[in-house]
Amino acid sequence: MSTNESTTNESTTMTDRTPVDDADVCVIGAGPAGALLSYSLANRGHDVVILEAGPRFDKEARVDRMKDQLHPTHSDNEIWDMGGERDEYSTSGEHSWPINQRRVKGVGGTSLHWGSVVPRLYEKDFEMQSRHGIARDWPISYEDLRPYYAQVEQEIGVAGDDETPFLPRREESYPMDPLPLSYSDKLFKQAGEELGVTVHSMPMAINTGAYDRNACQGYGTCQFVCPSGGKYSADIHVRKAEELGATVIDEAPVQRLNHGPAGEEITEAVYRTPDGETHRQTADTFVAAAGAYETPRLLFLSESAEYPNGLANSSGTLGKYFMGHPPAGVLGIVPGENTHQDEYGPVVSGGIHQFYEYDNPDDPQRASVNMFTINAAGPSPATMAMESDAIGDSLLDQVDTQFGSTVGINMSIEMLPREDNQIGIDESTTDNHGNPVPDVDITPGEFARKGQEKGLQVGSDLIEEMGGNVVYAQGTQTTEHDSLGPLGKGGYHPLGGTRMGSDPAESVVDPTLKTHDLDNLYISSGGVFVTSGASNPTLTIMALSLKAADHIHDDLQA
Amino acid sequence: MELTRRDAVTALTAAGITATTGCSGLAGDTTGDAEPMDTLVGLAEVLYPSDVEPTAEFIETFMYGRISDEESYREELAAGIETLNTLAADEQGGAFHTLSADQRRSVIENTDLRSGPSEPDGSDVARVNYYLLDELLFAFYSSPTGGELIGNSNPRGYPGGFGYSPPLEQ
């Protein structure tokens, strides 16, 4: 299946998808940026309605999706039914950009397939211009966001080590003890001790038993499917919001936002339902939380006489300063060593943040590097077996030969914001509702590429130090991008495009995440990031969403 | 080694999974006799290593136990067995489960089974590869029994062994 058809969703055509009367807040998107925000507002007595473009997935069917993940026939986008006319997009930039392999539309959003690695951004990420003379500062600081980080970590359940070196300072303990280092983490740690490289535990949103959801059961498939539910996904807080009275309308893609005569407030979100009907949801406040690809598109599609270049785009910056975290990876084989891949369960437990800060802070030449050591490097035994033509003993011999000695490091790399990297819309291509699709135009930057080189060198040195042979060491943002395997290509962690700022002439939202142009429209998304840092962004997205929820609550009270 | 239901159920139950069905749930309803399970066991005998003795109980637990849409699978199983039997009849003159192990291997080696595409929406043979052969291979190589033969008691796709991290060998 590749066109959003699934026999394993809970949604049915009998579901009531008519608008909610007298809603206080309409949230567009049931992913991480919308879930906690909705829960926070519902918890304070506000009537919340969530419009979600995708379906509500059946949890029981996660085992099937996990099997799809391990089956060599399926590409990553098929695991959660992404692709087809609904999810069409264009890439007018220099590189392909496989966004449907990196996102999920449905209740829980992309957190359904995330890796659940949750480091915070660093203090310096908020102050790049004043500290390093590059990019620009956020209008808020790490200190402004710190209490919200702690709140999110408590809500979603993070296992982490308070004493981890390099990570930003914290004043609160993680809610769960850290995951222990895996066998291969320890191999990297041992090699690192010889090279002066520190390997440490990584904060992970995986339940080790303290939270009110299943504990991790060790499937080893966190990215892209956690059948047990031990990995946090945002459907958890969508459900909690519903228990507090929020309404979720799934399979209800919003077509446009309409504003009142003066262009000062949004009056309704126009959405379509599977029966072909068009509905209009009114509310006092609207929150666009549809991700950094779809949110700018929705605003462009909502152009009007008052906003001819797109809603909330008086600054002309809508869609601009788009960023991603270019991935890079190193894979090695350590001859004769059983590296115990797969046996540990969680795909990530350790990492290296020693190269997040710059070698020369006065003259940074390269991007920050966020490295995580992998506990399931290379294909699984089942994948190898299904991929082979052999049977019986010869098949076992093949799998036994290929499996068991791999080690790997994946990394996400900082990317500087640039005006010419942008999300737009492609008028020549339309989706299943006849709307122009998003267009990604992003080109390589030397700063990011040098960060990749640093990470690849460190990773390769570590593998060679443990006696291994590096068999793969590549990253995107290079001229070879289009020839990389699916996991090596970009598209991860979309950020920017609706950036935050104090100056309405240079940004889309203000420090409260309210758009400068419209009094009742907020944006909760990685799109508001001013700089990318290198940390996996979902924790920050959720922290910002809780901050926005506080501001929305204040607005509604007023 | 014989793969038993008791071992399989114990393993999956401990890991939080309960076998959702058995012969009567999937295979039994297909034709009302034992042929579907006989066919799957006959397939497993040639797909799995020779030291392994597949049982219906193992297949019930590790394969059926991880299929959530039983109705769709039942249809694919019935269609797949029909295709498999047609291939077996053409190659060796009998239904697949009635053939000797050598004859069953021969059917696989002389057709597009294994060597051809494996697709959920493909040709008849591609669907046999996907729904029967690959399901059986997934069941085995994502179980502790299959994993242990390659030195890994908790292969990916199997829910167990959370946090297993032996000390480094010095």
Backbone torsion region of residue A25, taken as left when φ is above 0, otherwise alpha when ψ lies between -120 and 50, otherwise beta? beta
Give tens-digit pLDDT for A29-84.
999 999 999 999 999 999 999 999 999 999 989 999 999 999 999 999 999 999 99
d(CA A78, CA A158): 28
**Residues pairing with A521 in the sheet:** A286
Nearest Cα to A121, choosing from A556, A551, A547, A539? A539
**A10, part of any domain:** no
Give tens-digit pLDDT for A279-330.
999 999 999 999 999 999 999 999 999 999 999 999 999 999 999 998 889 9
A-contacting residues in B 98-117 (Cβ below 8 Å): 105, 108, 114-115, 117
Across the interface, whether the CB atoms of A345 and B163 are under 8 A apart is answered yes
Nearest Cα to B133, choosing from A64, A221, A388? A388
Residue of B nearest to A63 (CA): B66
Q: Which of B125, B156, B164 to mutate to test the interface with A (most CBs of A within 10 A)?
A: B156
Residue with tokens 């031990």: A230
**A163, part of any domain:** yes
Residue of A nearest to B163 (CA): A344
B96 is written with which tokens?
Answer: 């697949």
Domain that holds residue A241: 25-557
Sheet containing A436-441: order of strands: A90-91, A436-441, A422-430
User: Rounded to a whole number, what is the distance in Å from the CA of A341 to chain B's nearest CA?
Assistant: 8
Residue of B nearest to A396 (CA): B49
**A393, part of any domain:** yes
- The pLDDT assigned to A97 comes to 84
- The pLDDT assigned to B10 comes to 44
**A4, part of any domain:** no
B chain contacts of residue A385, beta-carbon cutoff 8 Å: 137-138, 140-141
A200 is written with which tokens?
Answer: 């440490």
**Residues pairing with A57 in the sheet:** A9
**Mean model confidence pLDDT for chain A:** 94
d(CA A310, CA A300): 4
**Residues pairing with A415 in the sheet:** none
CB distance A51 to A250 below 8 Å: no
User: Rounded to a whole number, what is the distance in Å from the CA of B91 to chain A's nearest CA?
Assistant: 18
Across the interface, whether the CB atoms of A381 and B146 are under 8 A apart is answered yes
Backbone torsion region of residue A354, taken as left when φ is above 0, otherwise alpha when ψ lies between -120 and 50, otherwise beta? alpha
| Beta-carbon count within 10 A of A197 CB | 19
**A193, part of any domain:** yes
d(CA A61, CA A159): 26
Give the 3-state secondary structure of residue A36. helix
| Beta-carbon count within 10 A of A482 CB | 11
A421 is written with which tokens?
Answer: 């990297």
Q: Tell me the pairing of strands A266-272 and A254-259.
A: antiparallel
Q: How large is the ipTM?
A: 0.92
Q: How confident is the model at residue A492 (pLDDT cuts 50, 70, 90)?
A: confident
Nearest Cα to B158, choosing from A428, A442, A219? A219
The CATH number of whichever domain residue A31 belongs to comes to 3.50.50.60
**A286, part of any domain:** yes
B chain contacts of residue A10, beta-carbon cutoff 8 Å: none
A chain contacts of residue B146, beta-carbon cutoff 8 Å: 381
Q: How confident is the model at residue B19 (pLDDT cuts 50, 70, 90)?
A: very low
Nearest Cα to B84, choosing from B124, B54, B48? B124
Q: How many domains does chain A have?
A: 1
d(CA A107, CA A272): 17
Residue of B nearest to A58 (CA): B68
Give tens-digit pLDDT for A166-202.
999 999 999 999 999 999 999 999 999 999 999 999 9
**Whether the predicted pLDDT of A480 surpasses 70:** no
d(CA B147, CA A404): 10
**A19, part of any domain:** no
Give tens-digit pLDDT for B96-130.
999 999 999 999 999 999 999 999 999 999 999 99
Instruction: Express as a percent the part of chain A with pLDDT over 70.
Output: 95
Averaged pLDDT for residues A212-222: 94
- The pLDDT assigned to A96 comes to 78
